[in-house]
Structure 1
């Protein structure tokens, strides 16, 4: 089934939040980074205007910029929150990060109600996503892949012409390189990458030009 992806850039970290949806109005929200009232309303308006049914909230990982909207959206839509168990310690540290970065209005994210596993297949109506575990930026980082549409939501593993930080708690350069080589770069070259920051790219472009191999 054809998947549509709407991107929103939220919060001071310029994080990409995605709504993945079908023509039959099934939808999931990936990495809700909405923080201000205006950002939350912007996201809600898109969902309402397009008459979408939200089935789940998915976190690629649990750094602060990707979970700022978890609590708000769980209350708004009463759906499950999905994350990998190895990123639960990261999620539990977010309130401390919020204080450090000045997010005084941060609503503490609930713990995930569903835990993700490698190569798990998620289905929400017509939306089918395969879970690919990819540590290196965060211990429990995952990406969501749909082969039929040739798309992957990579979180902060891979960016256009760049890659995720590895100097944060739980990060590791060699692990990240292994993830890129053995997971991301095994996908078809034409796969479109929707990253946690910046504009989209393709696997083929990043295999050729990404500077990760210079490190």
Structure 2
């Protein structure tokens, strides 16, 4: 399997493409998906789904273009639906453009398969109420959105954010994954569960 990382949109959000032999799944297309589409075409891959870790505009701005081009459905969690009526969900603030509205379906925690790969969908609120983590055991990778970063954590001062809830999500759902699991965040470099357990300053003494 292959994991590709593209920094898309004005906030350079990490858009990930996880590919199996013939199918792929995209996670958080935060801007123009042209490089994603180019890779899919070059590799002969079929995009089966577009997953959103949460519904902030910098993670969803490319949803419509990517879905229109591939026919792949967009999935996110309904607890974040109200954000789509605010600037956090539709953009248009701080000089940033409005995003193209997109159709999407609700996705709940549990076991699913995407691109032929087993996925455990974890509800990991704190940055937003509907934040999800997509853990793929075969890839030894967890796509966490803005829950936790290399040596940092996500903001909790936006509507739906809560510091205590975020820390609990990390401790109960991320730090219980195997230490070698790669954490793939919405912004910045990758890290691992073991590394963050030992060195993330927000979890000293864990």
Q: TM-score by structure 2 length?
A: 0.93
Over 3 Å counting, the alpha-carbon distance change for 1:167 and 1:20 in structure 2 is same
- Identify the match of residue 17 of structure 1 among 15, 18, 23: 15
- Identify the match of residue 148 of structure 1 among 114, 132, 138: 138
1:199 partnered with 2:189: yes
- Offset at residue 95 of structure 1 (A): 7.7
SS of structure 1 residue aligned to 2:139: coil
1:213 partnered with 2:206: no
- Offset at residue 166 of structure 1 (A): 0.6
SS of structure 1 residue aligned to 2:157: coil
Gaps of 5+ in 1: none
1:67 partnered with 2:57: no
Q: 80-89 or 94-103: which moved more?
A: 94-103
- Identify the match of residue 116 of structure 1 among 103, 107, 117: 107
Runs of 4 or more consecutive aligned structure 1 residues displaced over 4 Å after TM superposition: 94-97
1:19–1:30: 8 Å Cα contact kept in structure 2? yes
1:26–1:127: 8 Å Cα contact kept in structure 2? no
2:118–2:137: 8 Å Cα contact kept in structure 1? no
What pairs with 1:1-215 in structure 2 (closer than 5 Å)? 3-22=1-20, 24-35=21-32, 40-94=33-87, 97-104=90-97, 106-110=99-103, 112-113=104-105, 115-118=106-109, 120-213=110-203
Two-structure CA RMSD over aligned residues (Å) = 1.6
Over 3 Å counting, the alpha-carbon distance change for 1:50 and 1:94 in structure 2 is farther
- Offset at residue 105 of structure 1 (A): 5.7
- Offset at residue 97 of structure 1 (A): 4.9
Gaps of 5+ in 2: none
1:95–1:108: 8 Å Cα contact kept in structure 2? no
Aligned pair count? 204
